[in-house]
């Protein structure tokens, strides 16, 4: 990876790693996602917690297929 791209990736990671632990975990991600304006929340079909869980599950699904 070229130095410019590596710097950008590290900046993005640092934004996600809110507690500075060196690992992006559930607590880091929960603090970043706001489901309030999701169409299903606005229409009353789902709660903010439901869309948050769905969003978080996309990371788990990707992790499981990558291993």
Superfamily of domain 3-66: EF-hand (1.10.238.10)
Residue matched to tokens 């978080």: 56
Is it the case that residue 6 has pLDDT exceeding 80?
Answer: yes
Segment 54-64, tens digit of pLDDT = 988 887 765 56
**Which DSSP helix (H) or strand (E) runs through 16?**
helix 3-16
Q: Which residue has the higher pLDDT, 31 or 13?
A: 13
Q: What does the alpha-carbon distance between residue 42 and residue 7 come to, in Å, rounded to a whole number? A: 37
Contact 64, 58 (CB under 8 A): no
Q: Which residue has the higher pLDDT, 60 or 12?
A: 12
Taking the CB of residue 50, how many other CB atoms lie within 10 A of it? Answer: 14
Q: pLDDT at position 48, please? A: 94
Domain ranges within the chain, ordered by starting residue: 3-66
């Amino acid at each position: 990876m070229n130095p410019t791209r590596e710097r950008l990736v590290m900046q993005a990671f640092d934004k996600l790693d809110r507690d500075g632990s060196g690992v992006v975990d559930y607590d880091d991600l929960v603090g970043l996602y706001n489901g309030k304006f999701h169409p299903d929340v606005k229409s009353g079909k789902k709660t903010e917690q439901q869309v948050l869980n769905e969003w978080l599950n996309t990371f788990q699904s990707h992790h499981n297929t990558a291993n």
